[in-house]
Amino acid sequence: MSMGKTLENLQKLAFGAIPILAFFALWQAVTALGILPSSIIPQPSRVFTALVNAFAQGDLLRYAAISVVNVLAGLALSIFFGISVGLLAGIYLKRFSRYLLPFLRVCEKLNPFALLPIFVLIFGIGRVEKIAVVFWVSVWPLLFSTIDGLVNLDVDTLRSARSMGAKRLVLLRKVIVPMMTPTIFSGIKSSAQVAFFMIIASEMMASSTGLGWYYMKVKTAYQPPLMYGIVLFITAMAILVNLLFTLIEKRFSKWRVQSLGTAE
C-alpha cells in the first residue's frame, strides 16, 4: 500500500471518529452536569471502567466467545444451505422454484422473535437451539440474494462462455459464481448482522450462558454502567463483523476478476 493511500485511509478514519468522539463528549457533559440522572444514564467514563473490569475478570470475553461460536456455526450452515439451494433452484429447478418461492417468502416474513418459544420447544434450551435460531434468520437473505443474483446474470457473458464449449460445472465455477459474488456477499453481510443480534435476543430469552444471558444477569443485578458497556460492546462487535466480511469480499473480488478474465 502506497504512502498516499495510507494517509487517505487515516484521514477517512479521523473524520469518521469525530462524530463518535463528539457523541461521547456530549454524553459525558450532560451526565456530569446532572442534566441527565447518572443513576439511569451513567457517565461514559464509568461505562468504560465497568467494561475494562469485565474484560479483566474474563467474564465478557468468555460469554462473548460462546455467542460468537454459536453465530459462526449457524451462519456457516446457512451459507452452505442458502447458496447451494439458491443455485439449485435458480439453475436446475427453475419451474419448481416458481411455485416454491411464494411459500419461502412467507417463511422469511415470519417474526423470528415469535418463533423463539417454538425453537425452545423443539430443540430445548442449549447450543442446538441457538444454532437453529441463527440458521433460520440468516438463511433467507442468502437464499434470495443467490436466486436474485442468478436472475440478474449477464446473458451475453454466459452465451460467450457456452459458445467456447464451457461445460456446466466449469460455467458455474468460472462464470456464474464469480459474477454473483457481490450479490452473495451482500446476502452474507445482511445475514451476519441479523444473526448476531438474534443470538443475543435468544440468549436473553432462554439461556444460561452467552452474551445475552450475561446482559440479563447484569440487568437483574442493576449495574447500569456495565449494562451500557455490554450494549456498546455488542454494537462494536457487529461493526467488526461487517468490516470482516467486507475485507473478505475484497479478496473474493480479486478472484472474481481473475476468473472472469480466464473465462473470457
Domain assignment present for residue 83? The answer is: yes
Each residue's pLDDT tens digit in the chain (264 positions)? 555 566 666 677 677 778 888 888 888 888 888 887 878 888 888 999 999 999 899 888 999 999 989 999 999 999 999 888 888 877 666 666 677 778 888 888 888 888 888 888 888 888 899 999 999 999 998 888 888 777 666 666 666 666 666 566 666 666 677 777 778 888 888 888 888 888 888 888 878 888 989 999 999 988 989 999 998 898 888 888 878 877 877 776 665 555 555 545
Domain assignment present for residue 230? The answer is: yes
Domain assignment present for residue 27? The answer is: no
The span from the CA of 47 to the CA of 126, in Å, is 30
Tally of domains within the chain: 1
3-state SS class at 35: coil
In this structure, is the dihedral angle defined by the CA atoms of residues 53, 56, 59 and 65, taken in order, positive or negative? positive
Unique residue bearing C-alpha cell 415469535: 114
Domain assignment present for residue 142? The answer is: yes
Domain assignment present for residue 35? The answer is: no
Domain assignment present for residue 62? The answer is: yes
Nearest one of 253, 211, 205 to 229, comparing CA atoms: 211
Nearest one of 172, 171, 194, 178 to 78, comparing CA atoms: 194
The span from the CA of 254 to the CA of 48, in Å, is 39
Domain CATH number, residue 65: 1.10.3720.10
List the domain range (segments joined by +) for residue 170. 43-263
Three cell numbers at 13? 478514519
Tally of CA atoms within 13 A in the half-sphere of 86 that contains its CB: 26
Domain assignment present for residue 10? The answer is: no
Burial of 142 (0-12, 13-18, 19+ CB in 10 A): buried
**Is the pTM for the entire model greater than 0.85?**
no
Domain assignment present for residue 12? The answer is: no
